[in-house]
Amino acid sequence: MKRTGSQIVMEVLLEHNVDTVFGYPGGAALNVYDALYDYSDKIHHYITAHEQGAAHAADGYARSTGKTGVVFSTSGPGATNLVTGIATAYMDSIPMVAITCNVSDNMIGRDSFQEISITGVTLPITKHNYFVNKIENLADALRNAFRIANEGRKGPVLVDITKDVTAATTDYTPHKPLPLEPHPKFTEAQIDQIAKIINECKRPVIYFGGGIEASNAREELYELIQKADIPATYTMMAAGVIDCDDPKNLGLIGMHGTIAANKAIDQADLVIALGTRFSDRVALNPKRFAPKAAIIQIDIDASEINKNVLINYSIVGDTKDVLQALLPKIEERKHTDWVEQVTAYQKTVRVPMEGAKLRPKELIEATCDLTDKDTIYVTDVGQHQMWAAQYVRHHKTHHFLTSGGLGTMGFGYGAAIGAQIGNPDKRVIHFTGDGSFHMNMNEGCTAVSYNLPIITIIMDNKVLGMVYQWQTVFYNKHYSQTVLNRKTDFVKVAEGFGATGFACNTLDEFKEAFQKALKINGPVWIECNIDKEERVLPMIPNGGTIDDMITD
């Protein structure tokens, strides 16, 4: 059958069961948006206030649903506005397909209006990208984009299409999604070796990351924890994989991780690293990470083996596949003394704040008290992000969405929009700070336009909190450009967008506002005025170890 390039875009989306896309139209993308008009009964497009918001929405949609996020943009600034969102997805291994439209092929290289080589710009932050200037190549490029985004270590792929290709016509034949490449193979001898080490150790710790979520290996992880009686700690990307109430859950690891998690790593004789990459927020001093332990690393990406920390044993493979092969060889064990020793370190670190009326920990706990276990929590980046990682009662995978690798301020509202659209039956709570929220609060108009009942909790301390904290501790209180004292009235701004706004200064006021917000069918902003001297603790400085941990 004959189809235009724009129709082929829609048909390939349908081949991959895509019914939701985010984006923003423009001149070079007019043909695609014209075709979208005819497919609007099958493909639902959500227009954001800014292309960056669309990219974050596609990301949040992917993280919360397990599907591939799809984002459209036009050429030039439309395409470059996607860059931060694509990089965010790349760093956190999120499957996304970005479809951009460029000027016509005969105008390429002439510095034409809104021309940009977006494939050149995004080459370092995509798994792969395609420049399509011949219609015969379009369908295959799109199909391969979905395949590449989802196989192995997941990530974003960009397809840039010239405008003349979107208008041209060619034969189109429907096709099933391309099969994914098989996961890396490992040997039984490797499994036997790892099993023997685990069966013989005395002080083991499991340290896992987002690779467990990506491979849906939660059940296998639980079985390993229980069968071998091993305490576990996790990176921020894996919050919710094990229940917050599990007695073997040591909590978050790393710079702002728990005392128990960091002490366990320091004293262990075996660290089992599953689907994680030993980032500099975990292994702050790589040469002194787990100094008494042998380290096993299991990861689907061979490039991560020995990249940041030198390890003793490794298997390149999908974590679910490896665990399924490993579990039958694991002996039933009890490490009672060891588990009791490390869990005894669990305690809450509190910052004395005389006269403080609204504390971050208290408002996060109150939020959890008033919502159910299916709630999806989304954060921006900064102090509020770490408080949320520490204090939200995590229960489920794909229910804590945050920018881990890139640390993108402004990520939260777009991601919350994508999560709410992908999960209309679930409550979405967006934690942010006044610094982060100022970056993308323009997406308030998007939340209002689609009547999304996202509750945004703004921890407003009038400073760039995390940087301010570092300046306090390490830079002699030289508060260079971190004391904002902006006069933004978030309640009035919310009302200007058409949302509902509340402001609170005490825990009781917050609880009252939040209970009202739960009954409102539409977006709500709750401004929570907190003290600028609030701290995220514990804290291990860059290059430090457990011996350098700051707890007060």
pLDDT digits (tens, 9 = 90+) for 213-264: 999 999 999 999 999 999 999 999 999 999 999 999 999 999 999 999 999 9
Looking at residue 185, what DSSP letter applies?
A: P
- Its CATH architecture, for the domain 360-529, is 3-Layer(aba) Sandwich (3.40)
Whether residue 51 lies in the annotated active site? yes
Per-residue confidence (pLDDT) for residue 146, from 0 to 100:
98
Q: Annotated catalytic residue: which of 15, 67, 114, 509?
A: 114
Per domain, the residue ranges of the chain are 2-171, 188-343, 360-529
pTM of this structure? 0.96
Q: Which amino acid is at 184?
A: P
Q: Identify the CATH assignment for 188-343 out of 3.20.20.10, 3.40.50.1220, 3.40.50.9100, 3.40.50.300.
A: 3.40.50.1220
Query: Count of CB atoms within 10 A of residue 309's CB?
Result: 20
Q: What is the pLDDT of residues 57-79, one digit of tens each?
A: 999 999 999 999 999 999 999 99
Phi, psi of 121 (to 5 degrees): -65, -40
Contact 551, 260 (CB under 8 A): no
- Provide the pLDDT for residue 70: 98
Question: Pairing between strand 169-171 and 2-4?
Answer: antiparallel
Structure confidence at residue 357 (pLDDT): 84
Given the DSSP bridges, would you call strands 313-316 and 376-379 parallel, antiparallel or unpaired?
A: unpaired
Q: Which fold has domain 2-171?
A: Rossmann fold (3.40.50)
For the chain, helix, strand, coil in percent to 5 are 40, 20, 40
163 catalytic? Reply is yes
Q: Could you give the CA distance from residue 322 to residue 309 in angstroms, rounded to a whole number? A: 21
The pLDDT value recorded for residue 551 is 86
Q: What pLDDT score was predicted for residue 349?
A: 65
| Candidate list 127, 154, 163, 462, residue with the active-site label | 163
Catalytic residue among 91, 409, 441, 466: 466
User: 51, 115, 213, 527: which is the annotated catalytic residue?
Assistant: 51
Same fold, 188-343 and 360-529: yes
Burial (CB count <10 Å: 0-12, 13-18, 19+), residue 258: buried
Amino acid symbol at 419 = A
Q: Which residues of the chain have pLDDT under 70?
A: 347-351
Active site residue 114: yes
Catalytic residue among 42, 113, 136, 292: 113
Q: What is the pLDDT of residue 348?
A: 59
What is 346-381 written as a DSSP string?
--------TT----HHHHHHHHHHTS-TT-EEEE-S
pLDDT at 355: 72
Q: Is residue 96 annotated as a catalytic residue, yes or no?
A: no
474 is catalytic: no
Phi-psi region of 113 (alpha: psi -120 to 50; beta: other; left: phi over 0): beta
